[in-house]
Amino acid sequence: MAAITQLSQLDLNGTYSYADYLTWKFEERLELIKGKIMLMAAPNVEHQRISGELSRQIANFFHRKECKLFVAPFDVKLYDSQKSKLADKEVFTVVQPDLCVICDKTKLSKQGCEGAPDWVIEILSEGNNKKEMRIKYALYEENGVREYWLVYPSEQAVYQFVLNEPMQKYELAAMFSGDEIISSVLFSELKIDLGEVFVE
């Protein structure tokens, strides 16, 4: 089989596995959602600044702790949480969350994370449309991500969702904005200064 070095060589309506994804050698960033290609726009300056500041505050908290922060680009393979690790050819969803925290070291492989992180943060940008965010919300929910933050730079707001595990559904735990000091539900001792995150 010829090497895939350009996105144009792929059928954007085709269905692909993580094994296929690992063979692709081109610069464009993409995610696989249930086998379908979802292109990713390059993050803008505001997105990168917010990601960097969140990373700084969160990484400082987890320094020398069991749980670790990972920042995009970082592959997260998602599949039914009831299943054990799957072969790459059996995995059809791989995403690159802006930030994620993983506490179970057995989920880490050379390529990234196998299974749901404990906490995911996605930062909305012009390249993320509402359809994409709805798809990601449903994915994280059904795969058992316990806490999910959606950051809206234009509103200087953070929406915090927590998984109701018996129901396997997200509940909106809180909405934060402006220069509040906020914390994670899972990691209550962690304090994040939104005044630093959304600094003009």
Predicted local confidence at residue 171, as pLDDT: 97
CA-based angle 97:150:117, to the nearest 5? 40
The reply to whether CATH 3.40.50.720 applies to domain 42-197 is no
Classify 159 as helix, strand or coil: strand
Q: Has residue 69 got a pLDDT over 90?
A: yes
Instruction: Report pLDDT for 83.
Output: 58
The amino acid occupying position 150 is L
H or E segment at 148? strand 147-152
The pLDDT of residue 81 is above 60: no
pLDDT at 200 (0 to 100): 72
pLDDT in tens, 149-185: 999 999 999 999 999 999 999 999 999 998 999 999 9
Provide the sign of the torsion angle of the four alpha carbons 169, 43, 186, 33, taken in this order.
positive
pLDDT band at 17, cuts 50/70/90? very high
Residues 6+ apart with CB under 8 A from 94: 18, 21, 31, 32, 75, 76, 77, 78, 112
φ, ψ dihedrals at 193, nearest 5°? -90, 105
What confidence score (pLDDT) does residue 127 get? 62
Determine phi and psi for 113, rounding to 5 degrees: -115, 135
| Contact call for residues 30 and 20 (beta carbons, < 8 A) | no
Average pLDDT, the chain: 92
**Single pTM value for the model:** 0.93
Count CB atoms within 10 A of the CB of residue 166. Answer: 6
Closest among 113, 126, 105, 38 to 72, alpha carbons compared: 113
Specify burial of residue 175 (Cβ count, 10 A radius: 0-12, 13-18, 19+): middle
Mean pLDDT of 17-44: 91
Which of the pair, 1 or 57, is modelled with greater confidence? 57
Lowest-confidence pick of 20-24, 29-33, 54-58, 80-84 = 80-84
Q: How far is CA 73 from CA 145, 182, 199, in A?
A: 18, 25, 24
Give domain limits for the chain: 42-197
Question: Is residue 139 a contact partner of residue 95, using CB atoms and an 8 Å limit?
Answer: yes
